[in-house]
Amino acid sequence: MSQDLRKKESILRNSGFQTILASLLCIVLGLLVGFIVLLIINPSGAAGAIAAILKNFLYYPSGAAAIKYFGTTLVNASALLMCSLSVLFAYKVGLFNIGAAGQYVVGAGACLYCALALKMPWIVCLIAAVVAAALVGGISGALKAYFNVNEVISCIMLNWISLYCVNMLLTGVKEQTTPYTTPLSSGNKSALLPNLGLDKLFNKNEFVTIGLPLAVIMAILVWVLLEKTKFGYELKATGLNKNAAKYCGMKEQRNVILTMMIAGGLAGFAAGIYYLTGIEQWMVQQTSVPAMGFNGIAAAFLGGLNPIGTIFSSYFIQHITSGGTYVDKSMYCSQISDLISAFIIYLCGFVLFFRLWLNRWLDKRDEKAKKGGKA
């Protein structure tokens, strides 16, 4: 009898381990599909191309150059991490924040405008980015809470409205001859994030700033907020069963709006730590929303919707996205890594099924072992 009560806790039953296993499976299958597509397009260079995607900065033979581009990948990954935290946070409360891309755009517009037109130091620009993006997120949240507007649709509409508004706003601070905004190094040096010596770690890559550790700290803070605070518990309860939460006295309308504001703020922070490094200028004639927000969705689900997991998954997604730029352009195009990322998100949808299937297989196996023992 005591043997039945004490079910042997195999590591395979641990839900955390199952999620990691499922994510790894998604990655392997996604890369395999990418490899097959490359093979179909041009068999001769396929192996080299998939290797280029996987190697990313290791493409450079000299260690110094590799370290430098590793730094650039990390800068991109930290922004992606913030975007994926934005998506993750909203999803825990039952909301699909597809508007992370639009909130990212608003954050970028706010911080670049503060930097170039208002000549503010970096801390003000960063706060402006967070606040502006939080407000946009709050609009979606309010529309959902008070008018029951589907947050996916309202976020998409806001994505496009934000894009056009930011393009209009930043046209005032762009260079004379090109459609790009003036670089921060010439427009307003005080708006650049401080390096605090991190740039020397990456072979004097001036784009590596305090943004990197800040992003990781934010991930840990989000984890603490969701797992260890009363507010986080209330938010998760609202997401699991809105009516039960309301019955317990939790203000579900306030929670929905606050959640979208926090999610928006996280995406705005992403834009702040990306554009305030001076790594890129904004193109005021962009016709589509930057991919960073949408890749954040991939990273959030690949990380098993766990803030610590997203640190690793957002690095991986950025690694293959940056790796895509190193494929042989005469045979393939860089969109192949977008295709791989998209297919990985698609496979992440199967994770629930994979876990159900694994648990059922383990149950059958344990039952057989038990029957064998009794007989």
Partner 1 sequence: MLLLIQYTLIFASVLVLVALGGCFSEHSGVINIGLEGIMVMGALGGALMMKYLPEGTPAFFMILLVILAAVAVGMLFSLLLGVAAIRFSADQTLVGTALNLLGPAAAVVLVRAINMAESADNVSSTVMYGQAKKAFLMNIGKFEFNWFMLIALLVLIASYVVLYKTRFGLRLMACGEHPQAADSVGINVYKMRYAGVLISGALGGLGGLVYITAGVSEWKFENGVAGFGFLALAVMIFGQWKPVNIGLAALLFALFRALSNVYTGIDLLVALNLPSTVYNMFPYIISLVVLVFVSKKSRAPKAEGIPYDKGQR
- Measured from the CB of residue 203, what is the shortest distance to partner 1 in angstroms? 32
Contacts of partner 1 in 317-336 (CB under 8 A) = 329-333, 335-336
Distance CA 123, CA 111 (A): 10
Q: Which is nearer to partner 1, 272 or 290 (CB)?
A: 290
Sign of CA dihedral 259, 261, 265, 271: positive
The site that binds partner 1 (CB under 8 A) totals a number of residues, namely: 48
- Measured from the CB of residue 243, what is the shortest distance to partner 1 in angstroms? 15
Distance CA 342, CA 152 (A): 18
- Measured from the CB of residue 61, what is the shortest distance to partner 1 in angstroms? 26
Contact status: 348 vs partner 1 (CB under 8 A): yes
Residue 181 main-chain phi, psi, to 5 deg: -70, 155
CA torsion, ordered 38, 44, 48, 51, to nearest 10 deg = 40
Residues 252/242, Cβ–Cβ less than 8 Å: yes
Q: Which residues pair with 180 in a beta bridge?
A: 283
User: Which listed residue (10, 15, 150, 229) binds partner 1 by CB under 8 A?
Assistant: 150
Residues 278/183, Cβ–Cβ less than 8 Å: yes
Q: Which is nearer to partner 1, 153 or 369 (CB)?
A: 153
User: Which listed residue (23, 84, 154, 195) binds partner 1 by CB under 8 A?
Assistant: 154
Maximum CA extent, the chain: 86
Contacts of partner 1 in 31-50 (CB under 8 A) = 37, 41-42
Contacts of partner 1 in 163-192 (CB under 8 A) = 164-165, 167-168
Distance CA 48, CA 69 (A): 20
Residues 310/92, Cβ–Cβ less than 8 Å: no
Distance CA 78, CA 317 (A): 11
- Measured from the CB of residue 9, what is the shortest distance to partner 1 in angstroms? 26
Q: Which is nearer to partner 1, 3 or 287 (CB)?
A: 287
Residues 79/317, Cβ–Cβ less than 8 Å: no
User: Which listed residue (36, 189, 349, 361) binds partner 1 by CB under 8 A?
Assistant: 349
User: Which listed residue (279, 297, 299, 317) binds partner 1 by CB under 8 A?
Assistant: 297
Q: Which is nearer to partner 1, 18 or 277 (CB)?
A: 18
Token pair listed for 264 = 């928006």
Residues forming the site for partner 1 (CB under 8 A): 37, 41-42, 96, 98, 143, 147-150, 152-154, 156-161, 164-165, 167-168, 287-288, 294, 297-298, 301, 329-333, 335-336, 338-339, 341-343, 345-346, 348-350, 352-353
